[in-house]
Amino acid sequence: MPDSPSRDGVDRCRPRDSHGGGLHLIVLSGLFFSLMSLLVKAAGRDLPTMELVFARAVVVTAVAGAAMVRRGVRATALEPGLLLLRGLIGFAALSFFYYSVVHLPLAEATLIHFTNPVFTSIIAALLLGERLRSAQFAMTLTGIAGVAIVVQPATLLAGGGALPPLAVASALAAALFSASAYVTVRRLRHHDATVIVFAFAAVSAVIALPLMLPSFVTPRGWQWPLLLGVGLATYLGQLFLTMGLQREPAGRAMSAGSVQVLFATAWGAIFFGDLPETSSIAGGALIVASVFLLARLRGGGETQRP
């Protein structure tokens, strides 16, 4: 278990475990995030996207808040402006991602979103001045090529593609906003994880509430446990991701995180009959390979699911 945080919500002495042992936690994280996507796709058949965003935010806020109280953490972060910014960017990423999950096959939506580490390297180089080596640049281009194979932009623009153009654009926007959120989280890495999760969820709930009201649909029957499941799967995914990153270098962690694509493909085939096209399999192989190699080249750093 991770070290206890200081009571002001900032981790000042949390050492990284050099002995590893966190890859199974990253795999569990990928499993729960894929379950979240599955539940979102199921609930999104009858409920508006913004309602799903609000429900997830409320559940995660409650669970993260309870965890903060149990651990004695006070939300007196030293950088509230960055916490707010992370919440705003994460809200945008979450909204776009949920829309894409509802309107795309799970495998394709997850593949496109999984390019966010590629975009992270570009944004970090532009905004944080991090060096982008030639090998990293090559892997970035490989990842972008994989996305092009999956979405086939020329076919989309001609109106004959199998994937809805708006949903594809939403998935790409989610990946871009997620990458921006990760860059912000790097500046918040000394804060306790529950503070960051709580702030993100609370900001999302406040923004989503007025946006969902015009199209609000009262959940019925099985929709209630679906919404609860979305929130709990999200929290568990974030929890296992954080614990895994405390035990493994981010490069190894992100490599293991690629199993989420496999989980999403399996759920889509089992529950919705969504079998990926040959082009999606080929493009997905490039995306996973680029993220795997890029993570090992970058090394270090931390990331968190928006």
pLDDT tens digits, residue range 22-54?
A: 777 878 888 998 999 999 999 998 999 999 999
Cα-based distances in Å from 112 to 67, 152, 261, 272: 32, 12, 10, 19
The separation between CA 140 and the C-alpha centre of its own chain, rounded to angstroms, equals: 19
Tokens standing for 158? 């001609």
pLDDT tens profile 211-260: 999 999 999 999 999 999 999 999 888 778 767 765 665 545 555 666 77
| Per-residue confidence (pLDDT) for residue 71, from 0 to 100 | 83
Torsion angle in degrees (nearest 10) through CA of 99, 137, 253, 302? -80
User: What's the CA gap between 94 and 117, in Å, rounded?
Assistant: 16
Q: Which residues pair with 10 in a beta bridge?
A: 191
Residues 6+ apart with CB under 8 A from 246: 2, 14, 16, 17, 22
pLDDT tens profile 176-205: 998 888 778 767 767 777 888 888 899 999
Single-letter amino acid, residue 272 = F
Q: Return the higher-pLDDT residue of 78 and 160.
A: 78
Q: Which of 59-63, 165-169, 226-230 has the lowest mean pLDDT?
A: 165-169
207 pLDDT exceeds 90?
Answer: yes
